[in-house]
């Protein structure tokens, strides 16, 4: 998974995607960060993040833009019974925010969301995932879409890193 930052240092934005609705995809229709599964056991996670980001939103990342990694997270099953490990890789691509080109089979839309918006308590919301308030989860509203679940957890990890000064 790629956490792609762009913009001037005092007004950073992060790339998010809205996943296309697809039968059998447990993350279908959800807000996410670009990136996906390694194409083979021999593909390093950072290469998978670079490849998948190019395929999903048309951004060309390379190793010199890589700032570091957040802690990997176990995500249980990939949906096919095999365990998954999510490895968030952080990139800064510069002050310009290039147009995002969503690949419609995988990505319904793509956004540059300001970090200030993500951090603003006024944008906090909840999402009722199973259609009732007994399954309510915290999230961040962005234009009617909600960043929640695993993606919210990764954002929170990154925010804690920023607040700690990168330690």
Extents of the domains making up the chain: 2-114+144-162
What superfamily would CATH give domain 2-114+144-162?
Nucleoside Triphosphate Pyrophosphohydrolase (3.90.79.10)
Residue 76 burial (10 A CB sphere; 0-12, 13-18, 19+): exposed
Over the chain (167 residues), the average pLDDT of each successive run of 10 is 97 97 78 81 88 97 95 71 80 97 96 98 90 80 95 95 82
Contact 131, 141 (CB under 8 A): no
pTM for this structure? 0.90
């Amino acid at each position: 998974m790629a956490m792609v930052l762009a913009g001037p240092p005092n007004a950073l934005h992060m790339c998010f995607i809205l996943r296309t609705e697809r039968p059998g995809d447990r993350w279908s229709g959800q807000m996410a960060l670009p990136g996906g599964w390694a194409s083979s056991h021999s593909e390093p996670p950072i290469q998978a993040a670079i490849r998948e980001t190019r395929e999903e939103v048309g951004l060309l990342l390379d190793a010199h833009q890589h700032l570091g990694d957040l802690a990997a997270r176990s995500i249980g099953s990939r949906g096919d019974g095999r365990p998954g490990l999510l490895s968030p890789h952080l990139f800064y691509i510069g002050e310009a925010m290039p147009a995002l080109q969503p690949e419609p089979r995988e990505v319904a839309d793509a956004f540059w969301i300001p970090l200030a918006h993500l951090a603003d308590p006024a944008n906090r919301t909840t999402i009722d995932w199973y259609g009732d308030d007994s399954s309510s989860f915290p999230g961040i509203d962005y234009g009617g879409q909600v960043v929640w679940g695993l993606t919210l957890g990764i954002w929170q990890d990154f925010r804690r890193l920023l607040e700690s000064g990168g330690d």
